[in-house]
Amino acid sequence: MWKHRIHKNIGLSNPLYHYLLSISLRKSQLLNQLRQETAKRRDGMMQIAPDQGQLMALLIQLMGAKKGIEIGTFTGYSTLWMGQIVACDVNEKTTTIARRYWQEAGVTDKIDMRIAPASETLQQLISSGQNGSFDFAFIDADKPNYPTYYEQCLQLLRSGGLIIIDNVLWGGKVAQPMVQDHNTRAIRAFNEFLYQDKRVDISTLGIADGITLVRKR
């Protein structure tokens, strides 16, 4: 294990984070509006950070990606950053908000929304012969099912494709041995699994709640 002397993150105080956003985040009005509407909800903290959205959009642009999958759409904020996508979620209510904003953004025809357990949707894509045809996937749903989603996405992705895994640092709980709840253990186990997985190249970033970038070899 790495010990003490490791060069660590600068650590973002609130003022520094706001500064970062002020010199980096290029907001569209609609993204902003959706972000604010979602933030008012009790579960509003589930939406991804704006700087994370912009990073994901940039990565997708860099790849020239045409076809993606999102697992866990919620109110569609992350989706709006990503473009051409199969969006998976089980919640009719939150995805109704999502659809309203996609409509306003004029991207409805780019987003193939599937209301069903994501593993079923992914299995349908696999069964319909779409293996190896996707450029990227964003996994941000129920944590204990991450391994299932990951294996399915890996099949659906082309070689060189990108999977972005959300919440890999889980509010810091992953590094607190006393915390042993179901979700924390699931994320720890998945992180350890990914670390060993020779089918992919990885990089974990301390942005937002932690994301791991996974490139299929």
Residue nearest to Ca ion (CB): 166
C-beta of 135: minimal distance to Ca ion in Å? 21
Binding mask 84-123 for Ca ion (x = CB under 5 A): ----------------------------------------
Q: Is 70 in the site for Ca ion (CB under 5 A)?
A: no
Of the candidate spans 25-33, 100-108, 123-131, 164-172, the one that interacts with Ca ion by CB under 5 A turns out to be 164-172
Q: Which residues contact 100 (CB under 8 A, 6 or more apart)?
A: none
* CA gap 13, 21 in Å, rounded: 12
Nearer to Ca ion, 70 or 140 (CB): 140
Of the candidate spans 3-11, 49-57, 59-67, 161-169, the one that interacts with Ca ion by CB under 5 A turns out to be 161-169
* CA gap 137, 73 in Å, rounded: 12
Of the candidate spans 37-45, 121-129, 135-143, 190-198, the one that interacts with Ca ion by CB under 5 A turns out to be 135-143
Nearer to Ca ion, 17 or 19 (CB): 17
**Strand pairing report for 157-166 and 211-216:** antiparallel
Kindly provide the b/e burial profile for residues 180-209, where b requires at least 16 CB atoms within 10 angstroms of the residue's own CB. eeeebebbbebbeebeeeeebeeebeebbb
Q: Is 167 in the site for Ca ion (CB under 5 A)?
A: yes
Q: Which residues contact 11 (CB under 8 A, 6 or more apart)?
A: none
Nearer to Ca ion, 70 or 166 (CB): 166
Q: Which of 70, 89, 135, 166 binds Ca ion (CB under 5 A)?
A: 166
Of the candidate spans 53-61, 116-124, 139-147, 174-182, the one that interacts with Ca ion by CB under 5 A turns out to be 139-147
Residue among 151, 179, 155, 177 nearest 165 (CA): 151
Beta strands in the chain (DSSP E): 68-71, 85-89, 111-115, 134-139, 157-166, 200-205, 211-216
Which residues of this protein are in contact with Ca ion, per CB under 5 A?
Answer: 140, 166-167
